[in-house]
């Protein structure tokens, strides 16, 4: 496995691989890798000839300084994990490599309503930061396929729009959310939770399933109230819990069996912010 810290070295390697007719799969991450990330690498290996993963804790997508400072980092372990799972290249850029002209946003990405709802509402500027880093990575790597996790559902929609607006050929492959046995969605942030807290956090997914089970018989408002009570009884604080149209992500209270919907949630356990979603 090769490790590159500079775009020009990565680009040389990719030019060689593309010259050999190999297709490139790209898995961007912020490190502290878990099986969810590994499942993306495995999908990339299945679907493409040459798998590039990146590890970069992107400062511009953190709207909260403490969150950035506390974000788990374990690069040595991450590199072993990627190598063990057959990744071909890890790109490990510095902040300066990605942002040679500083961190300020010089360009506004037009994300429509996606920028202001759900994650966008509670993490102002977050998706602009995501687009800043992903645009820089994609424009240099130009992968055939980009592998993203459904866990970050709104992010998948934002990046799909970005790829479309960039006019590049990259196809997006959205991979299912990997969960602990308890149902808790795997997340790097789970590393900041004790075993007992992880048990409590599993209530998030149980409550999403509860809503899905009853959505045909009860109003969403009613189910939402019950779900929030359940989650708060497990000592979490719900930031949002919404039903949204799957295609547009427009928030609604009205479920119908003809359309597709997503339940989306963000909740805090202590200082740790967790998100999850479930498709209906």
48 binds ligand AMP (CB under 6 A): no
Q: 184-223: which residues touch ligand AMP (CB under 6 A)?
A: 185-188
Total residues contacting ligand AMP by CB under 6 A comes to 17
Identity of the residue, 246 or 252, whose beta carbon is nearer to ligand AMP in the bound complex: 246
CA dihedral for 26, 28, 34, 39, sign (positive or negative):
negative
Q: Is 126 a catalytic residue?
A: no
Member of 14, 52, 117, 148 binding ligand AMP (CB under 6 A) = 148
Cβ at position 130, least distance to ligand AMP in Å: 9
Residue 120 touches ligand AMP, criterion: CB under 6 A:
no
- 160: exposed, middle or buried (Cβ count in 10 Å: 0-12, 13-18, 19+): middle
Q: Does 273 bind ligand AMP (CB under 6 A)?
A: no
Q: Return the residue matching tokens 């590393």.
A: 191
CA nearest to 264, candidates 249, 202, 160, 248: 249
The one segment of 46-54, 134-142, 147-155, 252-260 that binds ligand AMP by CB under 6 A? 147-155
| Contact status, residue 4 vs residue 14, Cβ threshold 8 Å | no
How near is the Cβ of 183 to ligand AMP at its closest, in Å? Answer: 11
Q: Name the residue among 121, 19, 1 with its Cα closest to residue 55.
A: 1
CA 76, CA 11: separation in Å to the nearest integer?
23
Residue ranges in contact with ligand AMP by CB under 6 A: 29-30, 36-37, 39-40, 148-149, 151-152, 175, 177-178, 185-188
């Amino acid at each position: 496995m090769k490790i590159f810290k500079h775009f020009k070295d990565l680009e040389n390697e990719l030019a060689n691989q593309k010259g050999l007719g190999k297709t490139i799969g790209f898995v961007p991450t912020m490190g502290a890798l878990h099986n969810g990330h590994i499942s993306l690498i495995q999908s990339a290996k299945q679907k493409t000839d040459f798998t590039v993963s990146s590890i970069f804790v992107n400062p511009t997508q953190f709207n909260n300084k403490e969150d950035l400072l506390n974000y788990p980092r374990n690069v040595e372990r991450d590199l072993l994990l990627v190598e063990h799972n057959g990744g071909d290249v890890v790109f490990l850029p510095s902040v300066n490599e990605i942002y040679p002209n500083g961190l300020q946003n010089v360009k506004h990405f037009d994300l429509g309503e996606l920028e202001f709802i759900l994650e966008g509402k509670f993490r102002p500027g977050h998706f602009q930061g995501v687009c800043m880093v992903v645009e820089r990575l994609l424009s240099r790597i130009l992968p055939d396929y980009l592998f993203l996790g459904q866990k970050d559902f709104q992010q998948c929609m934002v990046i799909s729009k970005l790829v479309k607006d960039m006019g590049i050929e990259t196809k997006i492959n959205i991979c299912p959310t990997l969960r602990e046995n308890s149902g808790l969605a795997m997340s790097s942030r789970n590393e900041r939770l004790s075993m007992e807290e992880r048990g409590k956090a599993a209530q998030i997914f149980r409550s999403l399933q509860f809503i899905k089970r009853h959505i045909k018989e009860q109003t969403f408002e009613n189910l939402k109230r019950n779900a929030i009570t359940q989650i708060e009884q497990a000592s979490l604080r719900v930031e949002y819990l919404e039903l949204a149209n799957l295609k547009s992500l427009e928030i609604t209270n009205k479920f119908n069996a003809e359309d597709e919907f997503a339940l989306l949630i963000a909740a805090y356990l202590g200082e740790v912010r967790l998100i999850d979603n479930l498709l209906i």
